[in-house]
Amino acid sequence: MAILGAGAIGIDLGSEYTRVAIPGEGVALREPTRALVSAADAQDVLAVGIDARAMAGRTGEDVRLAEPILCGAVADVELSALLMVALTEKAVGRKKPFEKSALIVNAPTGLTKAERAALSQAVASVGARRTVALSSPVAAALGAGVDLSRPKGMILLSIGGGAIEVAVLSMYATVAARFIRGGSARLDEAITRWYWRNKGIVISQRTAEQLKIEIGTARADADEEEEPVLLKGREAATGKPLSIETNGDDIRKALEEPIREIVDAMRLALYQSPPELAADILDEGILLTGGGTLLHGLAERMTAETGLTAHLSEHPEYDAALGIAMAAPDEALLRALSAAGSLTDV
């Protein structure tokens, strides 16, 4: 009997973005994992995805912007199910998109038993014919074009919106893994804390994200000739508007703590790997995937810290979704993933 059969739909359910993947078509939709709901009743949904984010802050106090996925885990079962259905309807252009379809979703390696149960409840609520979960690092590796069928080890660093994962993979299985909650948001929070503590200025997380993208760097060395930029916020002591000059070196200092956490997780995953895979990993290097790995200088920093060559995927923001879309129609691949423990019923 086929595992999923024809017409399967894939969903990369991320903390920041949800991607709907259609086999043969790739990623059909990418929208924020957000819902605009009534402040009095969270099940009263006014908008989802990009529409919800666009309306946030432009309505009355009787509504709020909800985040159904936090740190890679389902935080609101009913809202997560509603969001999956609404965004998939938009992607495929029809109502009740799961009525005759199977659903394959991604599952981070570090979910607790309770979080896996919440994911199972959410996907069971969408009305799919069958639902299965694919390990997130395995999905990302497949989407990045890695041949996991070989008895050869490789190591992957994934930084998503809500989680950071380091995984050693071989033969479709996860041999060793480390999971850090927070993802890219953890980096943004580190920036806001650093400016508050060291510069006496309060900035929003969105401003921190912009700084990270525009002038941020993970490199250990600084560019002394870099032009400063003007940063606007509030003075921490008085709350008054405040403007200061800042540069990439400030962001480097702000990111040092979370970057060090990532390096430590990488080293621990390598330490936990079987010695037989060490030579493979040395040859293959580190694959960087997930939107957070687009941080300037991260590949160079990982290479300097580990001695392994780090290289960025061709499309890091879409790897997991592309991997899901690749696996969904391939029965032989699905069976191999299932036998390796990377594909499970939910």
* 3-state secondary structure (DSSP) of residue 179: strand
Q: Residue 103 carries which side chain, given as an amino acid letter?
A: L
- Each residue's pLDDT tens digit, 52-78: 888 766 666 788 888 999 999 999 999
pLDDT at 1: 42
pLDDT at 226: 73
pLDDT at 206: 87
Residues of the chain with CATH 3.30.420.40: 9-30+74-141+318-345, 148-182+255-312
**pLDDT > 90: what percent of the chain?**
72
The architecture of the domain spanning 9-30+74-141+318-345 is: 2-Layer Sandwich (3.30)
pLDDT at 319: 97
**pLDDT > 70: what percent of the chain?**
95
- Each residue's pLDDT tens digit, 237-286: 999 999 999 998 999 999 999 999 999 999 999 888 888 898 899 999 99
- Each residue's pLDDT tens digit, 161-173: 999 999 999 999 9
The answer to whether the beta carbons of residues 231 and 309 sit under 8 Å apart is no
The architecture of the domain spanning 148-182+255-312 is: 2-Layer Sandwich (3.30)
With b meaning 16 or more CB within 10 Å and e meaning fewer, what string describes 243-271? ebebbbbbbbebbeebbebbbebbeebbe
Q: Residue 81 carries which side chain, given as an amino acid letter?
A: A
pLDDT at 64: 85
pLDDT, average across residues 305-332: 93
The H or E element containing residue 65 is: strand 63-66
- Each residue's pLDDT tens digit, 33-54: 999 888 777 677 888 899 988 8
pLDDT at 8: 87
Q: Is the pLDDT of residue 231 over 60?
A: yes
CATH topology of domain 184-254: Actin; Chain A, domain 4 (3.90.640)
**Per-residue DSSP letter, 14:** -
The answer to whether the beta carbons of residues 141 and 110 sit under 8 Å apart is no
**Per-residue DSSP letter, 150:** S
| Residue among 98, 100, 107, 95 at smallest CA distance from 69 | 107
Residues of the chain with CATH 3.90.640.10: 184-254
The answer to whether the beta carbons of residues 138 and 172 sit under 8 Å apart is yes
pLDDT band at 2 (very low <50, low <70, confident <90, very high): low
* 3-state secondary structure (DSSP) of residue 273: coil
| Residue among 205, 201, 199, 202 at smallest CA distance from 182 | 205
Q: φ, ψ for residue 173 (rounded to 5)?
A: -115, 155
The answer to whether the beta carbons of residues 165 and 136 sit under 8 Å apart is yes
pLDDT band at 343 (very low <50, low <70, confident <90, very high): very high
* 3-state secondary structure (DSSP) of residue 204: coil
- Each residue's pLDDT tens digit, 205-215: 889 999 999 99
- Each residue's pLDDT tens digit, 168-206: 999 999 999 999 998 999 999 999 999 999 999 999 988
